[in-house]
Structure formats: C-alpha cells, structure tokens
Chain A
Amino acid sequence: MTKQKKHVISMLVEDQPGVLTRIAGMFARRGFNIDTITVGKTTKKGISKMVITVIGDDATLEQVEKQVNKLIDTIKVMEMPEDKSVIRELCLVKVSISNKKAKEEILRYTKIYKTKIVDITQKYVTAELIGTPAKIDAFIDLMKQFGIKEVSRTGVTAVSRS
C-alpha cells in the first residue's frame, strides 16, 4: 500500500444551502477518508471557506482535488502543505483534579504549553489550547495521566504563507 499521509485541503465555495452536505457526500461516495472538516465565512459575501484534512496517498490527493473542483459550488481548491501554510486547531480539554498535587502539576504543564485556563471548579480544570494538531495531540497525551473528562477539538483551519 502506498504511503498514507494527512493532507490539508482548503476550498472556497459558494455559500449555497447544502454545500457542506454536497462536499462531504462526495467524499463519502468516492471513499475518501475525512479526518477533520471545518467551514466558516470569508470577507467576501456569499463565499465560505472549507478546510478538510484527508488521509490518503498522493494519487488519492490528486483525485480529491479534481473531484472537489468538479462541483459547481466550488470556486477554488488549494493544497495546504505543512511547510507552506499556517495550520491551527482549537481544543478544549477538561481534566479531573483529584488532589492538590495533581492540580499543581496540571497548572504547571498548561503554563509550559502556553495553554489558557478558561474554567476551574472543585473537580475540574478546563484548558483552551490553540496550536498545530501535533501540539494538541501532545498536550492531550500529557493530560491523560490525570484523567481527561472531556475533549472537544474544532478540526484544522489553515492559510497559506505566500
């Protein structure tokens, strides 16, 4: 099997009813593996931006781009390679505070990772982290030892560097 990688693809689409369903449906129909999907407004009225992380080899990536381009609602498709783009994701992690020592350690780690504490109760602390998917993966991994109560990730968004 050829090399399966994560590819980030960004697309400008016309903000018509059902455009998200249309694109996600096309991915499903063609058997493309969606890892994350985000969509939001742009500065142009009636045009949205979708960013999709797809898992596959180079041949798959080429087909994905071509098939997305075929859709009438699609205006532009761009590949976002890691070295040529700024890629970010937002994550909220709710961690259990079992004792005072754990609480201190959690707060120390959040400082190192430059995470914001957005909520704290008797039982839990909730951290907000914005970074590359790799950084978020690492932070979540670190928090596992304390007991993660809940995680919510937005999926990746990206802009090109040029």
Chain B
Amino acid sequence: MNGAKAIVETLLKQGVDVTFGFPGGAVIPLFDAYLNYKGKIKNILVRHEQGAAHAAEGYARASGKVGVCIATSGPGATNLVTGIMDAYMDSVPIIAFGGQVPTSLIGNDAFQESDMMGITLPITKHNFQVRNPNQMSPIIMKSFKIALEGRPGPVYIDLPKDTQVGEVTEPLPREVTIQGFQPTLKPNPVQIERAAEAIVNAERPLFLIGHGVEISNASEELAELVNLTKIPVTTTFMAKGAFDEYSPLSLGTVGMHGRKIANYATVNTDLLITIGCRFSDRITGNLKTYAENAKVIHADIDPAEIGKNVKVDIPIVGDAKNTIMGLTSELKKMKIKEKTKWTKEIKKYKACCDTCVKEKPSKRIHPKDVMLELNDILKPDDIVVTGVGQHQMFAGHFIKRSKPRTFISSGGAGTMGFGFPASIGAKVAKPDVNVFLIDGDGSFQMTIQELGTVKEGNIKVIPIIMNNSYLGMVRQWLELFSDKRYSEVYLGTTPDFVKVAEAYGLKGIRVKKKEELASALKRAVKNDCTTVIDVQIEEESNILPMLPPGGNVKDAFGGCMVAPGKFFEDD
C-alpha cells in the first residue's frame, strides 16, 4: 500500500468515517485513495478550506471525537490557519492535514509551497511533517493521542506528495507511545480533601464551571455534586449547557456579557470553586480586583493554567470528571449543609434577573425577541451554533441550554465566519437533531460560500441571520467608549439573503415583524433542505449589562444594572 492508503487505513482504525476537505495538486494521491474506500470513509467537499477547518471544529465540539480537515499545499493549507488557531484557543481536538510539495523540493520556494510547520508552530498542540511513507501511520496515531488526551487541541500534519505516493514497507503499528506526553488525570487526594473542607466551611460558595467540564463529559457528575451541596452554579460562555440552565441553582453565564446575577455572585462569593476554566480576561476583567473577597479553588487538567492569571489557594491538577467525583465522594463523608442565607439571597436576585426589563418598542425586531422565540421551539438535544459579535452575546445571554455540547461558539478566538461551517460539522456529527445557527450579517458573509456545501452534501442546518447591516459589536464599543465615532462599521447594502439562498438552490425566508418569527422558524424546521432565515433587526441595539473592558467586575454597567456598579436595588 502507498502512503495515501496508509492514511485512510489509519483514519478508519481511529474511528474516522468523515473528513472535511478540499483538493489540490499536493493531495491528489490522498483523495484518490478515498475511491478505494467508498462506503467506509467519506469527504464532505467544502467551498473554502477555512470552511473545512471550522466544520472539523463543529464536528469535534458536538461529538467529542476528533474532527479531520484536509487541504492542499500552499494557499490551501494556509487557509486552514484561522480554524487551527480557533481550535487551539478553545481546546478543540482536530487534525489538520496539509498537502506539501515533494520532500526534494521543500525549501526551494516551489509552486504552492509554504512552511506550514513554521506557521502552525505556535497554534497547534504539536505538528509533524512526514518524511517517508513508513512514518505516515505512526504519526497519525500519535496525532490522535495528542489531539484528544489531556487538554485537547489541534495537531497539524504536513504531507509531502512523495510520501503519499511512496510505498509503505513496514507493517502499520498497533499502538504508539509518546515519551514526553503523560497528562495527569487523577487529582491528588490531599488536594481534594482540602477543597472539600473549604467547601464545607464556606459561607457563600460558588461553582464556576468552564469548558473543561464539557470536554470531560462530566455534566452528570456535576449535577450530582451540585445536588449534594446545593451550591449555586455559573458557567463561562464556553461551558453553556454543561449545567442545566433551567435548574433553580443555575445563574447562567458569567463574564463581560454574562448575566447580572452571575457577575454579582462572583463579586460577593467567599469561595470560588473553579473547574475546567482558564480565567480568560472576558470573565475576570481587572485581575487585581477579581474575586478579591474569595478563596480560590482551581481544578484543571492543564497545570500551566493554574496560577497563570488568578492567584490560587487550592490547586487541583486532574481531569474534571475525576475531580468532581472525588469531591462528591469526599463531601459525602463530611456533613455538608446548605448555606441557606446565601442561596436565599441568590435566589431572590435571580428571580429579578429572570423577569428582565422590557426593551423600548422599536421599528424593527429586537435581537432579544429572536432569542426568546428560538428558545421556545428548542428541544434539549438541539444544537445552537453562533457566529461572532452582538448576536453571539445575545444568544449567550438569553438562550437557555440544559445539555452539554448543545451550544457551540468561538469563544477564545472569536472568529467571525466560524458559525456557518461549524454548524455544518455539528449536523454531520449529530444528524438526528436540529442544528440552528445564529449569525450576524457580517459574520455570515465571511463563509457564505458554504451554502454550496450544504446543498451538494444534503446537509440541513437552520441559519438565522440577524441582519442590520452593521458590524454590531464594534459599533456598540464605538457608541459606548468612543463617543459614537463610527469608523468602518456600517456594511451598507447587505445582500438579499433569501435570494442568495435560492441562488444556491436552497430556501430562504425574510422576517420583518416579530409576529412572523415563530412561523418562519417552524417552516425552516419542517423544510427538507437548509432554509436561511433573514431577520431584519434593530440597527443600533446594545447587549448590556457589560463589564468595562479591563475594568472591575463590580463596575458592571448598563442595561438592567440599577446604576454602574450597583447590581440590585437593595444589594
């Protein structure tokens, strides 16, 4: 067998039956090999390699399996870079294959050659360049291990054309070991004990749950721990759905555009029990004042995150599921009582948060109405994917999710254009649920070409375009922080998305009035192909309250805040 066949054989062995890719000269041998494996492996042909990378991400985020994307050398591979970087920032397990010129031409400025090894060094967990066909299978097997184990992340593999064509002379390995890679999965029992004691003694404890809990598939264990301790839970934006947001103990998401009650709890807690979160600047604001009244327990699988941003009192290195189970079993031995004074206070304020202030009547539809309407028809297993911008934050704020891996968004990188291809990957991973995309007109246009992919691939997703012809989030910042000096935020004539969808042989619905939303959504769900819903929304609405960038969490302002820094009437 040649190197290309070895690639397919190894992918099949790793449980891969679908890849997202776009061909080119340097990967002709690889895609040729696919023809010998029809029915066993399939490639979803995208329309831009960036779409392949984000689709692989959507696949991985929805399923927990490794997503695979393929591009040719040179510009094909460099088009994967944004997606690889996005996966790196959000710890998503993907493997990106890039074709490469033959080994004899490397370094010669050959046609469609680029140094992807050098380019992807800082944005991958690791990268490899295959130098001879016998290395093909072991490298791929190592890549899967690296992508999935410990803190997941992207791996890039460079495939010089001659290594795909050349003959494999050694048998494919059964397993591989990596000397320098032994992530700590089991937490230190001493640290678990210390943490449990701190939890029992705290007066105002708070769970801060991050993406790590979702990655670890620990939602059930978390629910048990919360049920035992009756401690309120807030999640980061990335972990939305890791804890049932319909639970009375759920405070929703925390951070720059998080729920008021969640940020209030962070300011007033005396014990921050953090699991699987990296304390991104989006939730901490000014590190000098963040959680200044609280002791911090920080549990994470990546020891480098502990102590990186926030000073930690009780560090716990280990997998989130193991940590949560350890805490539960330790706390069952001790006598833990509900901190009723604290939970009463929280529940009182949460009730206020849940009956949010109505928006002023407006000529066009308010984004919040779209979110609430969508919430009404969402089933627990349905998946919501978002683009990046105001619409993303409206979704995070107002949509409720009860199951993990049902809210998919680009958090760390904030990549506009992520949404549509990611929704494609998510649908391929979970064909039996409805996949909704909440996108902005700016974000959607960045990867709109993937309409071709959903048409040809027969993939049904439901894009809801929040159309106001503005780069909304930037416009909001210019309004709030630059005296409305709008520069380069007006997109002007947005295309008629209904016509664009129809041009691709798909369906489209335009919604101009709030009353039309429900029926449009129902129709799109019923249709048998992708239906783009073009919602004409308010041009200048703001997503508030907000944490001042780089400022203190306690100085949240806007929206339903009583005044800047004052969360509730009698707090």
Taking Cβ atoms with an 8 Å cutoff, the residues of A that contact B are: 13-14, 17-18, 21-22, 25-26, 29, 59, 62-63, 66-67, 69-75
11 interchain pairs (CB within 8 A)?
Answer: A14-B180, A18-B121, A22-B121, A59-B307, A63-B304, A66-B303, A69-B303, A70-B302, A71-B180, A72-B126, A75-B180
Q: Give the complex CA separation of A21 and B122 in angstroms.
A: 10
Expressed in whole angstroms, the minimum distance between the Cβ of B109 and any Cβ of chain A is 19
Indicate whether B118 reaches chain A with its CB closer than 8 angstroms: yes
Expressed in whole angstroms, the minimum distance between the Cβ of A76 and any Cβ of chain B is 8
Q: Contact residue range for chain B?
A: 10 to 19
Q: Is the CB of A70 within 8 A of B121?
A: no
Residue of A17, A70, A73 near B129 (CB, 8 A) is A17
Q: Is the CB of B178 within 8 A of A72?
A: yes
Which residues in chain B, 6-27, are within 8 Å of chain A measured between CB atoms? Answer: none
Indicate whether B111 reaches chain A with its CB closer than 8 angstroms: no
Q: Is the CB of B122 within 8 A of A29?
A: yes
Q: Is the CB of B180 within 8 A of A21?
A: no
Majority-rule SS of A interface residues: helix
Q: Is the CB of A66 within 8 A of B304?
A: yes
Residue of A17, A18, A62, A72 near B181 (CB, 8 A) is A72
Expressed in whole angstroms, the minimum distance between the Cβ of B401 and any Cβ of chain A is 31
**Taking A25-B122, A26-B122 as contacts, is the C-beta distance between A67 and B181 under 8 angstroms?**
no
Expressed in whole angstroms, the minimum distance between the Cβ of B287 and any Cβ of chain A is 12
Residue of A14, A17, A21, A63 near B308 (CB, 8 A) is A63
Q: Is the CB of A75 within 8 A of B307?
A: no
**15 further contact pairs, Cβ within 8 A, besides A29-B122, A73-B180:** A13-B180, A14-B180, A18-B117, A18-B121, A21-B118, A26-B122, A66-B304, A67-B304, A69-B304, A70-B304, A71-B126, A72-B125, A72-B126, A72-B181, A73-B126
Chain A residues within an 8 Å CB radius of B169:
none
Chain B residues within an 8 Å CB radius of A67:
304
Which residues in chain B, 280-310, are within 8 Å of chain A measured between CB atoms? Answer: 302-304, 307-308
Q: Give the complex CA separation of A29 and B121 in angstroms.
A: 10
Chain A residues within an 8 Å CB radius of B179:
14, 75
Chain B residues within an 8 Å CB radius of A71:
126, 180
Chain A residues within an 8 Å CB radius of B307:
59, 62-63
Chain B residues within an 8 Å CB radius of A62:
307
Chain A residues within an 8 Å CB radius of B125:
72
Indicate whether B146 reaches chain A with its CB closer than 8 angstroms: yes
Residue of B nearest to A29 (CB): B122
Residue of A nearest to B151 (CB): A70
Q: Is the CB of A72 within 8 A of B180?
A: yes
Residue of A nearest to B122 (CB): A29
**Taking A21-B121, A25-B122 as contacts, is the C-beta distance between A72 and B146 under 8 angstroms?**
yes
Chain B residues within an 8 Å CB radius of A21:
118, 121
Q: Give the complex CA separation of A26 and B125 in angstroms.
A: 11
Residue of B nearest to A73 (CB): B180
Expressed in whole angstroms, the minimum distance between the Cβ of B158 and any Cβ of chain A is 11
Residue among A22, A70, A75 with most chain B CB within 10 A = A70
**Taking A25-B122, A26-B122, A29-B122 as contacts, is the C-beta distance between A74 and B180 under 8 angstroms?**
yes
Q: Give the complex CA separation of A25 and B124 in angstroms.
A: 12
Q: Give the complex CA separation of A100 and B126 in angstroms.
A: 59
Residue of B nearest to A28 (CB): B122
Q: Give the complex CA separation of A75 and B180 in angstroms.
A: 4
**The 4 residue pairs across chains A and B that have the minimum distance between CB atoms:** A66-B304, A72-B126, A75-B180, A74-B180
Residue of B nearest to A18 (CB): B117
Residue of B nearest to A26 (CB): B122
Q: Give the complex CA separation of A22 and B181 in angstroms.
A: 16
Which residues in chain B, 117-142, are within 8 Å of chain A measured between CB atoms? Answer: 117-118, 121-122, 125-126, 129
Q: Give the complex CA separation of A45 and B308 in angstroms.
A: 35
Expressed in whole angstroms, the minimum distance between the Cβ of B189 and any Cβ of chain A is 22
Chain A residues within an 8 Å CB radius of B118:
21
Q: Give the complex CA separation of A16 and B9 in angstroms.
A: 25
Chain A residues within an 8 Å CB radius of B117:
18
Which residues in chain B, 125-177, are within 8 Å of chain A measured between CB atoms? Answer: 125-126, 129, 146
Expressed in whole angstroms, the minimum distance between the Cβ of B518 and any Cβ of chain A is 48
Q: Give the complex CA separation of A25 and B121 in angstroms.
A: 8
Chain A residues within an 8 Å CB radius of B178:
72
Q: Give the complex CA separation of A133 and B556 in angstroms.
A: 51
Q: Give the complex CA separation of A116 and B303 in angstroms.
A: 47
Interface string of B186-204 (1 = CB under 8 A from A): 0000000000000000000
Residue of A nearest to B305 (CB): A66
Q: Give the complex CA separation of A74 and B181 in angstroms.
A: 8
Expressed in whole angstroms, the minimum distance between the Cβ of A102 and any Cβ of chain B is 48
Q: Give the complex CA separation of A92 and B30 in angstroms.
A: 53
Residue of A nearest to B179 (CB): A75
Q: Give the complex CA separation of A59 and B304 in angstroms.
A: 11
Chain B residues within an 8 Å CB radius of A70:
302, 304
Q: Give the complex CA separation of A67 and B179 in angstroms.
A: 17
Expressed in whole angstroms, the minimum distance between the Cβ of A60 and any Cβ of chain B is 11
Residue of B nearest to A74 (CB): B180
Q: Give the complex CA separation of A72 and B156 in angstroms.
A: 13
Q: Give the complex CA separation of A22 and B129 in angstroms.
A: 14
Residue among B146, B178, B180 with most chain A CB within 10 A = B180
Q: Give the complex CA separation of A23 and B118 in angstroms.
A: 12
Q: Give the complex CA separation of A72 and B544 in angstroms.
A: 42
Chain B residues within an 8 Å CB radius of A59:
307
Expressed in whole angstroms, the minimum distance between the Cβ of A121 and any Cβ of chain B is 40
Residue of A nearest to B142 (CB): A72
Expressed in whole angstroms, the minimum distance between the Cβ of A79 and any Cβ of chain B is 15
